[in-house]
Amino acid sequence: MPVGGAEEKLPGAEILNCFVALSGGDSANVVVIPTASRLKSTGRRYRKLFRELGAGEVHVLPFETREDCTRQDWLEELERADGVFLTGGNQLRLSTTLGGTPVAAALRRLNEAGTTVAGTSAGAAFMSEHMIAFGEEGPSPRADMVTLAPGLGLLKKVILDQHFRQRDRLGRLLAALAYNPFGVGVGLDEDTAAVIDRDNLLTVVGSGAITIVDPADMSFSSMDSAKADAPVCLIGLKVHVLVAGATFNLFTRVAEPPTGL
């Protein structure tokens, strides 16, 4: 469940309520991982929020070092989770701290077994196999506009970007896809989430939109010949803009509007 950042807190909290419900509601054992944030208060703030939203138990596991990621007591707590929430901050803190550790392996194993894993902002970016580490803003793709790094790998054929409309990130998502159009680009507006089920069906939740960029039929890319900072020519991309209730099948690549529209 990647979230575009700046999700509404109390009152309302549609996205956070959805996460708690998917994790089991009042019987949910939720684990918060605030590694991406440098603020000591981040974990405590989300623990308070999830308790107020009715989660049964909420635990904070502040993995700050790679050594922390081998603590047996914290790993045992993580294994008991019904839902895991990765906070915002810096996605490179997540990849450099958790990458290649028992924590990352546990998150992949738990998610495969049915545990809900959500991440907001940096936590969302980290979920994909190929993670946008950083890049420049702007609507048009340019060579050298974006830097990719290995992510957690929960989503194998998806590249995620967050704060999408608010920070004008279409260009860097297009540039990331232009390197190798193997998957689907998903741009998440703030206060907007993608709930992705076992059947690879993405459903939009929240007040904003999700921009889907499907490069399956791309017939031309100039990325291989573009000079540094030059615009990149891309032909044949398909773009969908989805609002709450709309769906996109990541396997068949078919988009559907919300029921009733």
Instruction: List residues with catalytic annotation.
Output: 121, 163, 190
State the residue for tokens 């704060």.
163
Given CA atoms 107, 109, 115, 117 in this order, what sign does their dihedral have? positive
Cβ neighbours of 13 (radius 10 Å): 18
CA distance 118 to 110: 12
Q: Which of 205, 209, 216, 203 is nearest to 255 (CA)?
A: 203
Q: Which residue has the tokens 């959805």?
A: 18
Q: In whole angstroms, what is the distance from residue 234 CA to residue 232 CA?
A: 6
Distance CA 46, CA 31 (A): 10
72-79 vs 102-113: helix crossing angle, rounded to 10: 10
- Residue 158: in which H helix or E strand, if any? strand 158-161
As a whole number of Å, the CA-based R_g of the chain is: 18
**Nearest residue to 239 via CA among 185, 201, 203:** 185
Residues 6+ apart with CB under 8 A from 82: 23, 24, 27, 28, 29, 30, 115, 116
